[in-house]
Copies of this chain bind each other. A is one copy, B any other.
Amino acid sequence: MATYLAERLGELIDLSVNERVALERLEQRERTLRRGGVLVREHDRLTELYVLKRGTMMSYVILPDGSRQILRFLFRGDLIAMAGLVYRSSPETVIALTACAVAPLDRSAVADLAVAHPRLSALLVAVGQIERVALTDRLAGLGRTSAKSRVAALLIEIRDRLRTLDPTIDGAFTLGLTQEQIGDATGLTAVHVNRMLRKLEEDGLIARDGGQFTMIDEPGLARTAHHNERRSGLDLGWLPDAR
């Protein structure tokens, strides 16, 4: 049986058998969405959380003038709609970029997990911090870097996430986003995204063929993106013992 949460958390620490069983139990149910399907709509009442089992999704908000800000791209093993742990209604819309399957789980399952498996609960606090730092990296990008940097940063971020799911991916990958979506994630217009992609190409940093991207000069791309490699600096040695 595939175990999505255990796979994700298992990249951070070695899980005990008991912990794996508890995590698997959370993912029993399954709900599928076709491409473009809406899992959660902004302002709708939130009753469940989800684990993404297959496919990729994104979350976004719509501003009063109709413009869209994409907040996050979601991949296998990601927890979705965790804001439901706090807010009655969803602060964001979550839709499927590809055909997807999610496992819905009740908020009470998180409560039960906290009681039965303190280490996993503490690990959820830690995972929250990883995501918080990822958000602050993006915040600094939007606030203080050029359009070119932001587009480069998005390419690197997506490639890195795809690679953790599939280690055979190297410099070449399929982004799976339209230029409008890239713009909504980076705070730019689709037209300007197009120009920046071409500039990255002219700079010899990437090559393009349809939706396929190839990183030609990865260090150079990371430099123009002002990219911070965070993955290597992890330390979870403080966690309590497993049950």
Contacts and interface: CB of A to CB of B under 8 A. Distances in A.
Interface of A: 61, 63-64, 67-69, 71-72, 82-83, 85-89, 91-92, 106-108, 110-112, 114-115, 118-119, 121-122, 124-126, 128-133, 135-140, 142-145, 186-187, 226, 228, 230, 233-236, 238-240
A132 B133 contact: no
Can you tell how many copies of this chain the complex includes?
A: 2
A114 B92 CA distance: 29
B114 A121 contact: yes
Given A121-B114, A125-B121, A138-B139, A133 B236 contact: no
A151 to B, nearest CB: 13
Nearest to A185: B143
Nearest to A60: B140
A71 B125 CA distance: 20
B86 A110 contact: no
Contact of A136 (B91, B107, B126, B187): B91
Given A88-B235, A91-B230, A115-B240, A110 B125 contact: yes
